[in-house]
């Protein structure tokens, strides 16, 4: 039983360590894409956007994204999506990729933006 607990603790530590490395890499990629002119899309509601948003972001709530997808003209452009926690932006990423947008990155929440 003791060895099982030690093994579980080691696996847990490795999981957290790997997630931190991935998170740092993703944050670095978001920053690099923004520096290179990526389109930043806030997929939260209009009222959430009005309360505060990333400075260069456009607001297209995920619920209306399919009907307003034409606002994102270049399907080859790098697009960064974010919301409050990352769940809606993941859904937006899937919608965009299914519509032919090839370079979409889920940045997570507004607090994760550089």
Who contacts 97 (Cβ-Cβ below 8 Å, separation ≥6)? 104
Residue 69 and residue 93 in contact, taking contact as beta carbons nearer than 8 Å = no
49 in active site: no
Residue 52 and residue 110 in contact, taking contact as beta carbons nearer than 8 Å = yes
Catalytic residue among 83, 92, 96, 113: 83
CA gap 25, 16 in Å, rounded:
14
Catalogue the active-site residues.
Answer: 83
């Amino acid at each position: 039983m003791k060895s099982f607990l030690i093994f579980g603790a080691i696996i847990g530590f490795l999981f957290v360590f790997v997630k931190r490395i991935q998170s740092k890499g993703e944050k670095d990629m978001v920053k690099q894409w923004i520096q290179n002119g990526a389109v930043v899309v806030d997929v939260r509601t209009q009222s959430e956007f009005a309360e505060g948003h990333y400075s260069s972001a456009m607001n297209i709530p995920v619920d209306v994204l399919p009907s307003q997808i034409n606002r994102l003209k270049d399907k080859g452009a790098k697009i960064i999506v974010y919301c409050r926690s990352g769940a809606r932006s993941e859904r937006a990423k899937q919608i965009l990729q299914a519509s032919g947008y090839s370079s979409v990155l889920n940045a997570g929440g507004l607090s994760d933006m550089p």
